[in-house]
């Protein structure tokens, strides 16, 4: 269900942006999603395609790419990606099932993730936002 609220959020941003820029038809929307939100791209697309009907984004295609969040340990300075701590994240996912906290509050991630080098929980997360990377409008080459 999370996909639907994300889809709605993306669509709303695109529509607001288009209105501000006097654009009346959107062709393509590119988004980058942090991989550890575990959003299903297919469901997100389906949500977007359903929600866009009747809006200026009706004929647009949603293009989804995933990006790996990067973490920095404040204790030892180690920089690591989600791939290095995926087992810890999976553990949390198993415990909480579909609605596990990372889904809703990615800011909580450091509570579950330990630095693979020194074991500290003092972790900074970067690039965990869903980002609209680009919007193509009709008339764009």
Binding range to Zn ion, per CB under 5 A, among 27-35, 45-53, 117-125, 130-138: 117-125
Is 76 part of any known ligand binding site?
yes
Residue 78 binds Zn ion (CB under 5 A): yes
Residues 6 or more apart from 24 whose CB is under 8 A from it?
A: 18, 56
Position among 23, 29, 73, 123 found at the interface with Zn ion (CB under 5 A): 73
Q: How many CB atoms lie within 10 A of CB 48?
A: 24
Position among 9, 42, 76, 90 found at the interface with Zn ion (CB under 5 A): 76
62 - beta bridge partners? 29
Residue 85 binds Zn ion (CB under 5 A): no
Provide the minimum distance between the beta carbon of 79 and Zn ion in the complex, in angstroms, as a whole number: 10
Residue 129: C-alpha distances to residues 67, 74, 83, 106, 125 (Å):
10, 20, 18, 9, 10
Position among 2, 120, 131, 136 found at the interface with Zn ion (CB under 5 A): 120
d(CA 123, CA 77) in angstroms, rounded, equals 9
Question: Could you list the residues that contact Zn ion (CB under 5 A)?
Answer: 73, 75-76, 78, 115, 117-118, 120
């Amino acid at each position: 269900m999370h996909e639907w609220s994300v889809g709605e959020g993306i669509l709303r941003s695109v529509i607001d942006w288009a209105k501000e820029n006097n654009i009346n038809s959107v062709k393509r929307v590119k988004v980058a999603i942090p991989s550890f939100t575990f959003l299903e791209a297919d469901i997100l697309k389906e949500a977007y395609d359903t929600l866009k009907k009747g809006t200026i984004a009706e004929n647009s295609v949603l293009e989804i790419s995933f990006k790996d969040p990067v973490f920095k340990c404040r204790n030892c300075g180690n920089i690591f990606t989600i791939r290095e701590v995926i087992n810890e994240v999976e553990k949390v996912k198993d415990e909480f099932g579909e609605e596990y906290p990372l889904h809703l509050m990615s800011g909580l991630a450091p509570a579950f993730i330990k630095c693979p080098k020194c074991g500290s929980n003092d972790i900074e997360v970067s690039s965990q936002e869903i980002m609209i990377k680009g919007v193509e409008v009709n008339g764009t080459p």
